[in-house]
């Protein structure tokens, strides 16, 4: 039975990496003419790639509990890498937002930065409510920025114990989002906007704070780290 479970787990990991590799190959390395995944399509494809890894770890947990922590941790690290790669490609080289052709961004030369807090947010809100822009554009630029870094609030505290400190997590999130904005400015692949920093950080911190609620935190640790209680986790941390 253990051999069968091991074979199933290996098969699930192969399936996961095949789907994820397919995503990056068709999107960024060997693109297919006329084929362009929407943001929703990409999300579905990446989730479809990550889910087999989770179930593989669950199967390993049932047959060999002593090795469970390693595989759960491995999954989380892989998910973080996939997320960061996806975030980098979407913010710098994404053809869906015309970032793959820097010549299209000449119009940013005179207005590719904003250092006035809430200026961009107010502009998009005014344009949307006055009927000058669509809901899709409004949602993508406001709520899209809130959603963009939300996975950090889930992944970083699980992978790195020191990220459970809110101040450290906040500084890490700020460093990541500021770095993205600076690179966008340097490469002319987008605007350098303080409102993007605020919205990105807000989304990540919301998830962080929600998952600090004890019942939710216990559930997340049980599901993704195979730890039955926070007390067990804290004891292990102290022993280390």
pLDDT (tens digit, 9 = 90+) per residue, 83-116?
988 887 777 766 555 444 444 444 444 456 788 8
What is the average pLDDT value for the chain, to the nearest integer?
82
Proportion of the chain above pLDDT 70, given as a percent: 80
Helices 135-148 and 150-159: angle between axes, nearest 10 degrees: 10
Please check the confidence at residue 134 and state whether its pLDDT lies above 50.
Answer: yes
pTM (2 d.p.): 0.75
For the residues 169-174, what does the mean pLDDT come to?
A: 96
Helices 135-148 and 194-210: angle between axes, nearest 10 degrees: 60
Of the CA atoms within 13 Å of residue 155, those in its CB half-sphere come to: 17
Nearest to 91 by CA among 186, 215, 216: 186
Query: In degrees to the nearest 10, what's the CA dihedral of 41, 43, 49, 53?
Result: -160
Degrees (nearest 5) of the Cα angle 8, 44, 135?
170
Alpha-carbon span 223 to 5, nearest angstrom: 19
Confidence at 35, pLDDT banded by 50, 70, 90: low
Of 59-68, 138-147, 157-166, 180-189, give the lowest mean pLDDT range.
59-68
Nearest to 102 by CA among 218, 215, 193, 188: 188
Alpha-carbon span 114 to 119, nearest angstrom: 8
Beta strands in the chain (DSSP E): 113-114, 192-193
Q: Which residue has the higher pLDDT, 209 or 227?
A: 209
pLDDT value, residue 19: 87
pLDDT value, residue 34: 60
Please check the confidence at residue 229 and state whether its pLDDT lies above 60.
Answer: no
Confidence at 29, pLDDT banded by 50, 70, 90: low
Render pLDDT for 196-206 as a digit per residue (tens, 0 to 9). Answer: 999 999 999 99
Render pLDDT for 185-222 as a digit per residue (tens, 0 to 9). Answer: 887 777 789 999 999 999 999 999 999 999 999 999 99
Alpha-carbon span 46 to 42, nearest angstrom: 6
Name beta bridge partners: 193.
114
For the ranges 112-126, 137-151, 199-213, the maximum mean pLDDT occurs at: 199-213
pLDDT value, residue 237: 45
For the residues 4-33, what does the mean pLDDT come to?
A: 82
């Amino acid at each position: 039975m253990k051999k069968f479970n091991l074979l199933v787990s290996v098969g699930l990991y192969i399936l996961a990496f095949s789907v994820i590799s397919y995503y990056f190959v068709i999107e960024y390395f060997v693109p297919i003419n006329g084929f362009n995944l929407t943001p929703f399509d990409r999300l579905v494809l990446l989730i479809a790639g990550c889910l087999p890894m989770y179930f593989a770890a669950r199967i390993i947990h049932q047959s060999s509990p002593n090795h469970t922590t390693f595989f759960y941790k491995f999954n989380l690290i892989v998910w973080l890498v996939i997320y960061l790669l996806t975030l980098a490609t979407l913010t710098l080289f994404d053809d869906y937002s015309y970032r793959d052709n820097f010549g299209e961004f000449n119009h940013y030369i005179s207005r590719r930065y904003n250092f006035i807090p809430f200026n961009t947010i107010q502009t998009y809100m005014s344009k949307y409510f006055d009927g000058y822009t669509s809901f899709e554009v409004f949602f993508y630029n406001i709520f899209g920025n809130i959603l963009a870094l939300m996975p950090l609030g889930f992944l970083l505290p699980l992978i790195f114990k020191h990220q459970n400190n809110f101040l450290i997590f906040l500084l890490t999130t700020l460093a990541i989002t500021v770095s993205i904005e600076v690179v966008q400015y340097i490469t002319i692949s987008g605007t350098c906007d303080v409102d993007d920093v605020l919205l990105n950080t807000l989304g990540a911190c919301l998830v962080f704070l929600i998952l600090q609620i004890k019942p939710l935190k216990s559930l997340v640790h049980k599901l993704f780290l195979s730890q039955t209680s926070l007390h067990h986790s804290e004891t292990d941390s102290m022993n280390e």
